[in-house]
Amino acid sequence: MQIDFSNQLHYFWALLPETVLIVCALLLLVVDGFWKGRKGPGRAVGSLSLVALALAAAANYWLLGVAEVGTTGAVAIDSYRIFTNFIFLGAAALTVLISFDYVAREGIDLGEYYILLLFCVVGMMLLAASRDLILIFLGFELMSFAAYVLTAFKRDDPKSSEAGLKYFLLGAFSSAFLVYGMALIFGAGGTTNLGVLREILVAGDISPMLAGGIVLLTIGFAFKVSAVPFHVWTPDAYEGAPTPFTAFMATAIKAGAFAAFIRIFVIAFGDLHIYWERSIWWLAVLTMIVPNLIALVQDDIKRLLAYSSIAHAGYLLVALISANESGMASFLFYLVAYTVMTIGAFAIVLVIAGKNDRLQRIRDYSGLGWTHPWPAAMLALFLVSLAGLPPTGGFIGKFYILRASIEAGYPNLAVILAFATLVSYWYYLRVIVSMYMRTAESPLPRLEWSGSLRTAVAICALITVFLGLLPSWPLLKAQQSVEGLVRVTERVSDSFGVVAQR
Amino acid sequence: MSLIQLVFYFFASLAVASSLLMITRRSPVYSAMFLVLTLFSLAAIFVVLDAHFLAALQVILYAGAILVLFLFVIMLLNLGYDFEPDVRGRFALVVAGGVGLVLLAEIVALLSGAEELPPVDLVTPLLDAQGAIGAVAEPLFQNYVVALEITGVLLLVAMVGAVVIAKRRTV
């Protein structure tokens, strides 16, 4: 099918996955409101939301066969969008699977939990799809509004409410930066359409207004992807949020923000690379070094994983700053690996924490390897992958990012990445050492993990190992989906110019 | 300086001054009233720019409906008796003020380098062709129709979220 945006109706086809998800979420709201069963509607709505995600994935698959006329439509139809959409939908499905136990245990088994999650996914899919600054802003807000509420979802827990409020205030603050930057870029280019902006804005002829817009956009995005020094909200928000949603925040929401980040900076402003690469270079360096050092002294496993997720944003920034095709392919590959290993790790953490999230210290994990071998083995696998050791997806992903950054002429970033990874081994392995080489102080009660949670953990583990052992097929797919997005010839000369400058 | 410029500078300085007053007043009611003044001056600037319809919307929606809501909330919640400053301590004040001044200097330096664009009248032909309302409605329902629909979803999510957080229900 051909999509031509001169016909307004074609927006409907171009946004079919989003539309499917919105309609399903609205229907689920009605189901939730009129539920008559003896038990609450939570479980049923949760299962139906899995169906909704599957339908959206089918619509997304259908998009593969759709071609678009021109590259200036407000909605992009390219395989970059379709690939990231699959990541968002998969992460959401895994989050729903690990949520069932948690919401029942913590007494927050409301249908709205899953419905807001679906709306959050719609926002992310818009972020990946939009080729218009206004739509990108609306996607951010849609994603964030749902996320603020879900962070504060444990209403009787003051920690969760505090996290929600902090996240809301900082999120609103960062949105102000974003929208101001977008306004300045609109002022400089006369349009909000990224496809048109890409043709209008050429290097060498950059107005102060455009420079201001790019700076403000960088700050806004740095907040959204929690890059250092704009990361201070992250550990608190991650610690207070319901654990399954923390997993979702650390993976899908970060991926959504990164998708738009790349859509604006690498694809639309690719020719202006020399203007933005310096500031993002520093962001990437700080984001790789600082959280890895702070994580060394963390005792709470949720905070530890939060700092680890900030550090991983730094690795993804390295892939972004490379701004070549292998950089974007490695970004997509790493995103898949990072998503499954992080969700898997949080799933185990939420099982072990027990009612009211009591057991979250690393001390509480001592001896786990002998009393509960399966959860311990799974957690060890995910931590090894997060640390980036073979034979897991994390290792291959980091390897590809290193290669892309060297190809793009950033060997210093590659060196810093390698050192940051070495530092991170300490705190990941500390948990593993505690599980296998210490004796339990107080034996854990019997763990309750239902079939759905085990399924999710098994899927995460399988994908983590698969990406580590047979990476060529997923990498090929990632490479195919970014083909032709970046203007290769001009970019190569750019990066050589930068190298020569130094 | 023509009359129109004079009017513009008057309302622009009024907007800046009243927004400064808004964020420095201690009582939230005063702040809200200064916000009304800011929004009114913005409406006047819209009139200067020939955007009469937007000016009317600005007065009716922002200065009218939304601000009345603000005042209702402030009065219902009985806010305005806790005068705790946001910035605690002299050191924080100096640092925050310094950073603010540096940013302001940067913006001024950045914008003083910008060349003045020649004046082009884009608005009058548009208004002649479509009228004040058509000029707003056509892009809204054609070019930006997706954005419009998404805004609807966004407001729904905000409403659902507010209800979820506010209503305590035991399962």
* B76, B150: one domain: no
Q: Is residue B112 part of a domain?
A: no
Question: What Rg, from alpha-carbon coordinates, does chain B have?
Answer: 21
C-beta of residue A463 within 8 angstroms of C-beta of residue A336:
yes
Residues of A in contact with B155 (CB under 8 A): none
Residues of A in contact with B143 (CB under 8 A): 74
Q: Domain for residue B90, yes or no?
A: no
Contacts A–B by Cβ distance under 8 A: 78
Write the CA distances from B75 to A399, B13, B27, B28, B29, integer angstroms: 59, 29, 11, 9, 8
**Is B58 contained in some domain?**
yes
Same domain, B129 and B51: no
Which ipTM score applies to this complex? 0.88
- C-alpha to C-alpha distances, A125 to A15, A118, B112, nearest whole angstrom: 9, 11, 40
Tell whether the model's pLDDT for residue B80 goes beyond 70: no
pLDDT at A484: 78
Q: Is omega for the bond preceding B139 within 30 degrees of 0, making it cis?
A: no
Let me know the angle formed at the C-alpha of A455 by A449 and A459, rounded to the nearest 5 degrees.
135
Same domain, B127 and B62: no
Q: Where is the domain boundary, B83, B103, B132?
A: B83
pLDDT of residue B160: 92
Sign of CA dihedral A29, A31, A37, A43: negative
Residue B23: predicted pLDDT: 85
At A334, list the tokens: 């790493």
Are B76 and B128 members of one domain? no
For B9-34, the pLDDT digits (tens) are 999 999 999 999 988 887 888 888 89
Give residue for tokens 């006369």: A190
* A292-334 residue pLDDT tens: 999 999 889 999 999 999 999 999 999 999 888 888 999 999 9
pTM of the entire predicted model: 0.90
Residue B26 maps to a domain: yes
Interface residues on B facing A, Cβ-Cβ cutoff 8 A: 107, 110-111, 113-114, 142-147, 150-151, 153-154, 157-158, 160-161, 164-165, 168-171
Mean pLDDT of chain B: 83
Please give the single-letter amino acid code of residue A279: S
Specify whether B132 is located in the same domain as B78: no
Per CB-CB distance under 8 Å, the chain B contacts of A74 are 143-144, 146-147
Q: Which stretches of chain A score pLDDT less than 70?
A: 487-502
Domain containing B152 equals: 123-171
Contact assignment for A164 to B145 by CB distance below 8 Å: no
Q: Is A10 helix (H, G, I), strand (E, B) or coil?
A: helix
- For residue B130 the two structure tokens come to 């479509």
Q: Give the confidence band of B81 by pLDDT, cuts at 50, 70, 90.
A: low
Number of domains observed in the structure of chain B: 2
Residue of A nearest to B147 (CA): A135
Q: Which amino acid is at A196?
A: V
The reply to whether residue B150 touches residue A119, judged by beta carbons under 8 angstroms, is: no
List the structure tokens of B108: 């001024």
Chain A closest-CA separation from residue B60 CA (Å): 24
Band of pLDDT at residue B168, cut at 50, 70 and 90: low
CB of A396 within 8 Å of a chain B CB? The answer is: no
Number of alpha helices (DSSP H) and beta strands (DSSP E) in chain B = 7, 0
Q: Are residues B128 and B66 in the same domain?
A: no
